[in-house]
Chain A
Amino acid sequence: MITIGFYGRLAERLGRQVDLDLPDGVSLSELRAYFDGLDADKVRALVNDETALDDIWVYPGDRVDFLPPLSGG
């Protein structure tokens, strides 16, 4: 499974966590396209808690977090 985490308004719309069964892996840009409203200029992606660019490939066991713009504390 690839685990996808959403936060803030994204979590409200897409759920807090989604598990995808993609045995061959997937690119971050394909994941963005799979869900709606994850534009790269607004929504930052993390792979296993590290900032990641869209051409990176993720595999089963990886965790991807999509972070909408921060609101601050």
Chain B
Amino acid sequence: MRIDARLVHEPFRPEAELAGFADDGAGAIASFTGLCRPATKDGDAVTSLFLDHHPRLTEGSLHDIAASAERFGVNAVRIVHRCGAIAPGEAIVFVAAAAAHRRAAFDAVDFLMDRLKTDALFWKREDRLDGPRWIEPTEADRADRARWND
């Protein structure tokens, strides 16, 4: 399985990441892009998101998570993840998987996103009009992650 997992400090273009993810022999490519929302789920405005990271281990965690998609028998996976200050509307994460058939590609992307939401080495702060707030995984995130436990 080909793995490309990258931590990026500047805005990136998800469409360019998808265009560059051709995989000879794949019959299916699935992808997901996560964007910075302009508001919290309670409707409070978010002025920016800050993703703190470890200078060496965060990218390693992205690579480990990408490698765990091997269980789906996919040919290739790509993870691109932002860190630092992210403005509403900017991409936070791009995930793609290439496989012989669609089900493996869909499942791998779904699985990788659930793992990224709980296991990636980040500390997330929402900057709101009423001040900053550090975020931890929700019960819903943990339940999504637990769907894949054997």
Choose one: B52, B57, B92; the contact of A8 (CB below 8 Å): B52
C-alpha gap A2/B75 in the complex (Å): 44
C-alpha gap A5/B55 in the complex (Å): 10
Against A, the Cβ 8 Å flags (1 = close, 0 = not) of B94-129 are 000000000000000000000011111111110000
Q: Considering only CB atoms, which chain B residue lies closest to A5 in the complex?
A: B54
Interface size class of B (residues with CB under 8 A): 20 to 34
Interface size class of A (residues with CB under 8 A): 10 to 19
Against B, the Cβ 8 Å flags (1 = close, 0 = not) of A49-71 are 10000000000000001011111
- Which residues of chain A are near B121, meaning CB under 8 Å? 67, 70
Tell me, rounded to whole Å, the shortest Cβ–Cβ distance linking B79 to chain A: 9
Against A, the Cβ 8 Å flags (1 = close, 0 = not) of B39-64 are 00000000000011110110000000
A70 B123 Cβ-Cβ under 8 A: yes
C-alpha gap A13/B18 in the complex (Å): 39
Take A8-B134, A11-B52 as given contacts and tell me if A73 and B57 are in contact as well, using a CB distance cutoff of 8 Å.
Answer: no
B54 A7 Cβ-Cβ under 8 A: yes
Q: Check B19 for interface membership: any CB of A closer than 8 A.
A: no
C-alpha gap A5/B137 in the complex (Å): 22
B134 A73 Cβ-Cβ under 8 A: no
21 interchain pairs, CB-CB under 8 A: A5-B54, A7-B52, A7-B53, A7-B54, A8-B125, A46-B57, A49-B56, A67-B121, A69-B136, A70-B119, A70-B121, A70-B122, A70-B123, A71-B134, A71-B135, A71-B136, A72-B120, A72-B124, A73-B34, A73-B116, A73-B122
